Structure 1
């Protein structure tokens, strides 16, 4: 089984790189984006691939949750296992894609080492997030956790907000930051982000407690969950709270900016 998973991961890694190169080529040919700076096209390409991954992962997550909801502790879903390798390959690829976008925006940097250090400094939180998912979260959830795949599906559902996050970047790079579609997408982004990346955690615990009848109290039932599971939840939840705060601040800034641009009526 492990050999099959490695093979799936290798094929997926090739597919992610190929999709990136395909989109990058199409953007150079599209008249609307052909004149854009390399940094803008790099960010659009990275965001497009990220949106595809988010949609795919979220759909797999929803299928897994629906299939396994009858037995959150024991039910298994093979597609969740296969997608774990695809997702791992994506986060490995995305470390490179993020660096490409950063390097394209730092054309004045003199050396590769200087550019790499600048990348590590600027995107350290995101880099740690990716490495944690690849080395800790996916292996712990799929291969080492005694829990069912219902919880794996819930973690996959956190990616449902990703297409909206990346649509925001794409619209911004296309010069549509003041359009109505940008505002609507921003509202959907914050709503789905809060639901799928923050509210999902208490929902997971509630689903577990609703089916856990062996322990006399909820406290004892929670104590039976491996510490690694609690830590994994905290590791994933912490940056989500930080990013939601940034989204809310950004939304308030947009609203304030639009309010200041409204004409003042003479009394």
Structure 2
């Protein structure tokens, strides 16, 4: 567990710094805000791809959803923990440089408590989400499960599948490709992957449990300890919130496309 934790503490900050250097030398006209924002998105995509691969390996290997175990669960949870902490820092750094480009950093006091408060006000849900995963779900995964439920932890890993497409959308905007077919297709993939892997994954987990023990899907919640249902709701709630934001954004883009005059 400790070697995986130390490896993650080296890999993710190292990738972030490596991407920053590569982008700064490749896109010389980009501001620090552009470089940091895209670097953070690229690291998020790397983490998401690794999490998805680990989740698929765990889910396909665990035939018994309660008692089967897989070494990747604790291994990847430990490896990915430093990413959560680092991503909060990377998001803050992106916010700081964005405010600096806009000329607001001096008014907010540079790197200061006021800047941190402004960052938290802007990205409150994401910061809380990362902190909950780091401070609550990580200890539960590593120390309090008594070796049970690796299948379900694998399902949570797979939920990261949509992240690279979300990041690609941001990067395409950064490259000025937000009015292209690629961006529109990516937007559709974002909605579908987010809905399947972050929303439908919850009824899938309940269905898998019910199938194993011969319980109808609608009765499964009543056969689980209350803290399991509460924990799932705590994870599901922000996913529903972010899905609604994605749908609103997609609708705005659709309206903007319809309102654009046609050219012959």
> Is TM (by shorter chain) over 0.5?
yes
Conserved in 1, the CA contact under 8 Å of 2:199 and 2:240? yes
1:170 corresponds in structure 2 to 171
Q: Which residue of 1 aligns with 2:47?
A: 53
| Deviation (angstroms), 1:221 | 5.3
Q: Which residue does the alignment assign to 1:103?
A: 96
Query: Residues 178-215 of structure 1: CA distance to partner in whole angstroms, max 9, x if unpaired?
Result: 011111111001100000000010010010011125x8
**Structure 2: distance between partners of 1:177 and 1:66:** 37
Question: Given the alignment, which residue of 37, 53, 72 partners 1:79?
Answer: 72
1:216-248 deviation line (CA, Å, top 9, x unaligned) = x77775344233322221111111111111111
User: Does the 8 Å contact 2:195/2:243 carry over to 1?
Assistant: yes
Deviation at 1:24, TM superposition (A): 0.3
The match for 1:94 is: 87
Matches within 5 A, 1:1-267: 5-30=1-26, 33-68=27-62, 70-107=63-100, 108-110=104-106, 111=109, 112-113=111-112, 114-146=114-146, 147-213=148-214, 222-263=221-262
User: Residues 40 and 223 (structure 1 numbering): CA distance in 2 closer, same or farther, change over 3 Å?
Assistant: same
Length-normalised TM-score, structure 2: 0.92
User: Secondary structure at the residue paired with 1:106?
Assistant: helix
Once the two structures are superposed, what CA deviation does each residue of 1:17-38 show, in whole Å capped at 9, x if it has no partner? 00000000000111xx220121
Tell me how far apart the structure 2 counterparts of residues 119 and 6 of structure 1 sit (CA, whole Å). Answer: 31
| Distance in 2 between residues matched to 1:221 and 1:49, nearest whole Å | 37
* C-alpha spacing 1:152/1:142, structure 2 compared with 1 (3 Å): farther
Moved over 3 A (4+): 217-224
Unaligned runs of 5+ in 2: none
The SS at the match of 1:109 is: coil
- 8 A Cα contact 1:103 1:115, kept in partner: yes
Q: Check conservation: 1:168, 1:182, Cα contact below 8 A.
A: yes
Long gaps (5+) in structure 1: none
Spell out, residue by residue over 1:37-57, the C-alpha distance to the aligned partner (whole angstroms, 9 max, x if none).
Answer: 211111100000000101110
> Contact 2:210–2:217 (CA<8 Å) still a contact in 1?
yes
* Alpha-carbon distance in 2 for matches of 1:82, 1:235: 24
User: Across the two proteins, how many residue pairs are aligned to each other?
Assistant: 256
Q: CA RMSD in A?
A: 1.8
